[in-house]
Chains A and B, each alone.
Chain A
Amino acid sequence: SQQGEEDPQALSIQEGENATMNCSYKTSINNLQWYRQNSGRGLVHLILIRSNEREKHSGRLRVTLDTSKKSSSLLITASRAADTASYFCATALIQGAQKLVFGQGTRLTINP
């Protein structure tokens, strides 16, 4: 079953703007990860944030994690047309036997 819900389901912005996507989950986690999927392709790992971390950066990506609210956010700064894709959060449960449970995803469209 799905662990997380993502918000918004779809987001359309202009190139150069920042994009923020949110993810909420239900049970305790070991870590939370964000992946990108271009249409009809496999997933690309973007960033992993551990349960004891609150914020992490990687290039134009900034991820936050609030374990008290069971939520995470992914911020993409200075968006580019190439950022157009679906973004999924995935949680690694503490008792998850290495499994990842994916959220519903956010479809991001960057308009040139």
Chain B
Amino acid sequence: GAVVSQHPSWVICKSGTSVKIECRSLDFQATTMFWYRQFPKQSLMLMATSNEGSKATYEQGVEKDKFLINHASLTLSTLTVTSAHPEDSSFYICSAREDWRSEDTQYFGPGTRLTVL
């Protein structure tokens, strides 16, 4: 149980295009999901907290108009990188919390590697 998937696993796009990444909780409901980015050999940096049915909460320094988050159902959150540039190239990872758990354990997706040319 507690499996999170991400799609696509990797994507290459041209500068200026938009890319959508999906995060799904496969066997549990997740009111709250999280989006992280990770540069090579670095730690995870939280970008935003995605809340089902409401606006996402962005961390300081993260442009909400550039990184659009939609959490339309209890099992799906999407991250859209708009007008992508080479500096947006990174590893994007989502995670989800099981609604019924009181603890903060998060279950992570396998990540999406974005390369912007």
Contacts and interface: CB of A to CB of B under 8 A. Distances in A.
Contacts of A102: 43-46
B43 A43 contact: no
A43 B44 contact: yes
Contact of A33 (B45, B104, B111, B113): B104
A92 B32 CA distance: 15
Nearest to B49: A99
Given A43-B44, A43-B108, A98 B32 contact: yes
Contact of A92 (B41, B91, B104): B104
A41 B105 contact: no
Contact of A45 (B32, B44, B91, B105): B105
Nearest to B4: A42
Nearest to B95: A43
Contacts of A88: 43-44
A40 interface: yes
Interface in A29-69: 30-31, 33, 35, 40-45, 48
Given A41-B111, A42-B111, A101 B106 contact: no
Nearest to A33: B105
A48, A100, A107: which has the most chain B beta carbons within 10 Å?
A: A100
Interface residues of B, number: 26
B43 A104 contact: yes
Nearest to B36: A102
Contact of B103 (A35, A40, A43, A48): A48
A95 interface: no
A92 B103 CA distance: 9
B34 interface: yes
A43 B42 CA distance: 13
A35 to B, nearest CB: 8
Given A40-B91, A42-B93, A98-B49, A105 B108 contact: no
Interface of B: 4, 6, 32, 34, 41-46, 49, 57, 91, 93, 95, 97, 103-111, 113
